[in-house]
Amino acid sequence: MNKFWEIVRYEYTRHVFRKRFIFALLSLPLVILAMILVIFFMSYFTSDRTPIGYVDHSGVLANPIQLPESTDIFDPLLQMIPFKSEEKAKKALQADEIQTYFILPEDYEVDYSVPLIYYEQPGESARNQISRFIHQNLFAGEQIEFEARITEGTNFTLQSLDGEQEFQEDEWYNILVPFIIGMIFIIVVMASGGYLLQAVIEEKENRTMEIVITSVSPMQLMAGKIIGNISVGLTQLVVWSAFGWLAFTIGGQYIPFIANLQISTQYITRCLLLMFPAFVTVAALMAAIGATMTQSREAQQISGLFTIPVMMPYWFAMPLMMNPNGSIAIFLSYFPLSAPVALSLRMAFTPIPFWEYTLNLIFLVAFAVFTVWLAGRAFRIGMLQYGKRISLSQLFRKEAHNE
Amino acid sequence: MTSIEVRDISKRFGETQAVNGVSFEVRPGEIFGLLGPNGAGKTTTIRIILDIFKPDSGSVSILGGEMSEEKKNQIGYLPEERGLYQDIPLEHCLQFLALLKGMTRAEADSGINNLLERFNLNKYRKKKVKELSKGMQQKAQLITALVHDPALIIIDEPFNSLDPVNTQMVKDLLTEQRDQGKTIIMCTHQMNQVEQLCDRLVLIDRGKVVLRGTLEDIRKRFASNNILVRSLNKIPATFPGVKAIEPYNDHYKMILKQDATPQSVLKNLVEEDILLEEFEIAVPSLDEIFIKVVNNIGEKNE
């Protein structure tokens, strides 16, 4: 057992403490951070903070209630300036003192239409504030919670029959969660799969196999390599998640939308539980390929094939969303490589019974154990065949053990 | 008590019979030579002993039974295919491989320090393995085979790419290990090394044992009735008891008749007043025996 941990440690440290790895680890969050900053500055500097003017003939805004102060830096509160006449407002607009002005005509409360006058169309934020400002004053005196409800309109809450799942219209972003989880899964699994492939091929290229195999069992070696390299991938995941968490915490203070995000922890936990065996499966298959191939380039090409089933649920994203219990969806969630992404997608759109989820999970774990065994075997057979490829049938043949 | 007992093992790879009914045993406190020409089946035999390959038939008992994970810690192996992790510093490579032999970190560090010192590699310990010369890598590989103080040492061509100084050092080391009661199997085709080191040997050719025994036994078995003589005088063309006389380097090689003994020839030489500088009973070198045995079998087979 100690030897197993030594292998895990060796595989882990030889990647994690390298400059190359640390660079790769930090580059993704840094690139994202840079992108966010660019977007942030772009919208900050392009958003027009010039006040808005209005001319009220109707009397709705006679004693206007101002909108509350905003903490949202992308949606700062714009000053609303009343004008006595349209001429004065027009002059102010020409003088760039205001970005636009709106008029509440005398008969405003007949058809509630509001002309908006501008040279350059005001941004969404300005238009929103105008309509919130008018709403707020129209409802002056009503109880505040009604006001918010009426202002925002209907919000459907969809609930599954068993009551386990709820879906609210304004929580549309939940649809993105399985996609984001799936993407992270793919990136991490491919990265650690790549490391693993490299590790096994290096063993072959360095010809250390005979030494290693007379020290530990092939199963120990393979399991150690797989867990070690997966831990490298998980380190990436944890570091990236930490950055994500940090981004949300900081972002939440400035952007109310982020602060209000509600993502089910149960859902995330279930997705992650599916990821782990799938992770081991892909890694073990990579290792098996590494053991049977002789050149890293060749092996890398073959391993690229694994990306296809992992990505497949995305190609079928539409049928999966429209019909999450259809035959394509069911098939993809039982096929070990596509299961984590497919099942995460299905779980987001339909309640999956607990027994079905558990069955899937057991199936994935069993398959993961099988692939580790297969990788150990491939290693045992392939290890001494320098410069020789081994075939798939050789892996399963009974007498293969003798070679 | 035997450390290794190989009983009638055979192994076939496709059309090639790599090993064919090989048996021998090795005892503690001896250096056992496993000899043979290239492709004779030495490496396959070793891999079967180490449980890297399973034999098609026959069995191997190692340290009193079948190979197990625990026994792997008591075996030091210098494979024919040399291999070290190239891309990491020497000391990390050695440490990792020592830990895989079940050593604790402290044991591994002190063992590695001792051997690095002894092999004059201490100042290269921080260098990447791939930056070391072939000879240095060979020494590093030997450290890997010896650092965990194994009871059984199996070394395949230990003197490859070593200069005479290092060769001598490795020889001393092996003798030392033998004197400590370790079991050593040495695989080689460098016969001069075998003559100096091995206590017993088997010679394998085309997968079969063609010669076995102690060095002395084998020499006696192949001793021809020849003597080598160096003299200041000219030796007569015919001589009592001698079948033929041939020049041999700066010696004469006298091939004796069946009934003659070196003793009687020496007596005659003295009586003939031939001034002898050197008189030697010609013992065949292991090299000669090796070539003779291997060629004879080759001829028989053809």
The partner residue sitting opposite B52, judged by closest CB among A10, A206, A210, is A210
User: To the nearest whole number, what is the mean pLDDT of chain B?
Assistant: 88
Q: Count of CB contacts below 8 A, A vs B?
A: 63
pLDDT tens for each residue of A114-136: 888 888 888 888 888 888 888 88
CA distance B192 to chain A (A): 27
Which residue type sits at B230? R
B256-292 burial code (b ≥16 CB/10 A, e <16): beeebebeebeeebeeeebeeeebeebbbebeebbee
Same structural domain, B38 and B90: yes
Confidence category of residue A366, pLDDT binned at 50, 70, 90: very high
Nearest to A39 by CA among A74, A75, A76: A74
C-beta atoms of B99 and A14 within 8 A:
no
* Beta-ladder partners of B252: B229, B247
Contacts of B177 (CB under 8 A, 6+ apart): B146, B153, B184
Tokens read off for A71: 């903490």
Confidence category of residue A335, pLDDT binned at 50, 70, 90: confident
* Residue pointed to by tokens 């890293």: A296
Asked if the structure places residue B292 within a domain, the reply is no
Query: Among residues B159, B192, B215, which one ends one of the domains?
Result: B215
A8 chain-B contacts, CB cut-off 8 A = none
Which of A60-69, A175-184, A358-367 has the largest mean confidence? A358-367
C-beta atoms of A210 and B75 within 8 A:
no
Quote the CA–CA distance of A212 and A216 in Å, as a whole number.
Answer: 6
Task: Give CA B23 to chain center in angstroms.
Answer: 17
Predicted local confidence at residue A131, as pLDDT: 86
Same structural domain, B157 and B65: yes
Q: How many CA atoms lie within 13 A of A17 on its CB side?
A: 7
Predicted local confidence at residue A387, as pLDDT: 44
Predicted local confidence at residue A399, as pLDDT: 44
Quote the CA–CA distance of B175 and B198 in Å, as a whole number.
Answer: 9
Asked if the structure places residue B294 within a domain, the reply is no
Is residue A360 predicted with pLDDT exceeding 60? yes
Which residue type sits at A197? L
pLDDT tens for each residue of A218-253: 878 888 888 888 888 888 888 888 888 887 777 777
Residues lower than pLDDT 50 in chain B = none
Which CATH number goes with the domain that contains B188?
3.40.50.300
Quote the CA–CA distance of A199 and A186 in Å, as a whole number.
Answer: 20
Q: Which residue has the higher pLDDT, B44 or A322?
A: B44
* Beta-ladder partners of B59: B7
Asked if the structure places residue B137 within a domain, the reply is yes
Confidence category of residue A200, pLDDT binned at 50, 70, 90: confident
The residue-averaged pLDDT of A46-68 equals 83
Asked if the structure places residue B298 within a domain, the reply is no
Nearest CA in chain B to A224: B100
Beta-carbon count within 10 A of B126 CB: 9
* Residue pointed to by tokens 């992270």: A184
**Does residue B71 sit at the A interface (CB-CB below 8 Å)?**
no
Mutation target to probe the A interface, by most A beta carbons within 10 A, among B100, B105, B185 is B100
Predicted local confidence at residue A174, as pLDDT: 67
Same structural domain, B169 and B263: no
C-beta atoms of A211 and B97 within 8 A:
yes
Predicted local confidence at residue A386, as pLDDT: 47
Nearest CA in chain B to A379: B52
Asked if the structure places residue B99 within a domain, the reply is yes
**Does residue A2 sit at the B interface (CB-CB below 8 Å)?**
yes
DSSP string, chain B: --SEEEEEEEEEETTEEEEEEEEEEE-TT-EEEEE-STTSSHHHHHHHHTTSS--SEEEEEESSSS--TTGGGGEEEE-SS----TTSBHHHHHHHHHHTTT--HHHHHHHHHHHHHHTT-GGGTTSBGGGS-HHHHHHHHHHHHHTT--SEEEEESTTTT--HHHHHHHHHHHHHHHHTT-EEEEEES-HHHHHHH-SEEEEEETTEEEEEEEHHHHHHHH--SEEEEEESSPPPS--TTEEEEEEETTEEEEEEPTT--HHHHHHHHHHTT--EEEEEE-PPPHHHHHHHHHHHHHHHH-
Which residue type sits at A242? A
Same structural domain, B103 and B205: yes
Predicted local confidence at residue A251, as pLDDT: 74
Confidence category of residue A1, pLDDT binned at 50, 70, 90: low
Provide the domain count of chain B.
Answer: 2
Predicted ipTM beyond 0.95: no
**Does residue B50 sit at the A interface (CB-CB below 8 Å)?**
yes
* Residue pointed to by tokens 């070679």: A403
Q: Give the three-class secondary structure for B211.
A: strand
The residue-averaged pLDDT of A188-195 equals 78
Bridging pattern class, strands B31-35 and B200-205: parallel
Quote the CA–CA distance of A303 and A199 in Å, as a whole number.
Answer: 14
Tokens read off for B141: 């590989």
A217 chain-B contacts, CB cut-off 8 A = 69
Task: Give CA B207 to chain center in angstroms.
Answer: 17
Nearest CA in chain A to B47: A210
Asked if the structure places residue B293 within a domain, the reply is no
Task: Give CA A164 to chain center in angstroms.
Answer: 23
Chain A residues 379-398 with a CB less than 8 Å from chain B? 384, 386
Residue A338's Cβ-count burial label (10 Å; 0-12, 13-18, 19+) is: buried
Asked if the structure places residue B176 within a domain, the reply is yes
Residue A128's Cβ-count burial label (10 Å; 0-12, 13-18, 19+) is: middle
Q: How many CA atoms lie within 13 A of B20 on its CB side?
A: 13
Helix (H) or strand (E) holding B295: helix B286-301
Asked if the structure places residue B164 within a domain, the reply is yes
**Does residue A266 sit at the B interface (CB-CB below 8 Å)?**
no
Q: What is the pTM of this model?
A: 0.73
Predicted local confidence at residue A400, as pLDDT: 43
Same structural domain, B255 and B135: no
**Does residue B82 sit at the A interface (CB-CB below 8 Å)?**
yes
Same structural domain, B246 and B139: no
Same structural domain, B39 and B160: yes
**Does residue B111 sit at the A interface (CB-CB below 8 Å)?**
no
B85 chain-A contacts, CB cut-off 8 A = 202, 206, 208
DSSP string, A148-199: HHHHH----EEE-TTSS-EEEGGGGGGGHHHHHHHHHHHHHHHHHHHHHHHH
The residue-averaged pLDDT of A197-215 equals 82
A218 chain-B contacts, CB cut-off 8 A = none
Is residue A259 predicted with pLDDT exceeding 70? no
CA distance A295 to chain B (A): 16
**Does residue B188 sit at the A interface (CB-CB below 8 Å)?**
no
Is residue A83 predicted with pLDDT exceeding 70? yes
C-beta atoms of B86 and A217 within 8 A:
no
**Does residue B235 sit at the A interface (CB-CB below 8 Å)?**
no
Which CATH number goes with the domain that contains B249?
3.30.70
C-beta atoms of A6 and B85 within 8 A:
no
Nearest to B186 by CA among B55, B28, B77: B77
**Does residue A159 sit at the B interface (CB-CB below 8 Å)?**
no
C-beta atoms of B81 and A202 within 8 A:
no
Q: Which residue has the higher pLDDT, B56 or A165?
A: B56
Mutation target to probe the A interface, by most A beta carbons within 10 A, among B85, B105, B130 is B85
CB–CB of B189/B35 below 8 Å?
A: yes
The partner residue sitting opposite B85, judged by closest CB among A208, A215, A401, is A208
Ordered structural domains, chain A, with CATH:
52-153 (3.40.190), 162-402 (no CATH)
3-state secondary structure B187-234: EECCHHHHHHHCCEEEEEECCEEEEEEEHHHHHHHHCCCEEEEEECCC
CA distance A219 to chain B (A): 12
Tokens read off for B31: 């250096």
* Beta-ladder partners of B230: B278
The partner residue sitting opposite A210, judged by closest CB among B77, B99, B101, is B77
**Does residue B53 sit at the A interface (CB-CB below 8 Å)?**
yes
Tokens read off for B38: 């290239």
Same structural domain, B22 and B163: yes
Angle at A294 between CA A293 and CA A298, to 5 degrees: 70
Distances (CA, A) of A288 to A202, A365, B99, B189: 13, 17, 25, 36
Which residue type sits at A330? I
Same structural domain, B27 and B173: yes
Quote the CA–CA distance of B79 and B6 in Å, as a whole number.
Answer: 19
C-beta atoms of A384 and B96 within 8 A:
no
Q: Give the three-class secondary structure for A368.
A: helix
Quote the CA–CA distance of B98 and B72 in Å, as a whole number.
Answer: 12
Tokens read off for B105: 């970190």
Tokens read off for A137: 């004053």
CB–CB of B125/B91 below 8 Å?
A: yes
Same structural domain, B200 and B72: yes
User: To the nearest whole number, what is the mean pLDDT of chain A?
Assistant: 79
Chain A residues 112-131 with a CB less than 8 Å from chain B? none
Same structural domain, B163 and B240: no
Query: Among residues B194, B215, B236, which one ends one of the domains?
Result: B215
The DSSP 8-state label assigned to residue A94 in this structure reads: H
pLDDT tens for each residue of A270-309: 888 888 888 888 888 888 877 777 666 776 777 677 778 8
Beta-carbon count within 10 A of A91 CB: 13
CB–CB of B186/B33 below 8 Å?
A: yes
**Does residue A7 sit at the B interface (CB-CB below 8 Å)?**
yes
Same structural domain, B41 and B167: yes
Quote the CA–CA distance of B215 and B183 in Å, as a whole number.
Answer: 17
Q: Which domain holds residue B153?
A: 4-215
Q: Give the three-class secondary structure for A116.
A: strand
Query: Among residues B180, B215, B250, which one ends one of the domains?
Result: B215
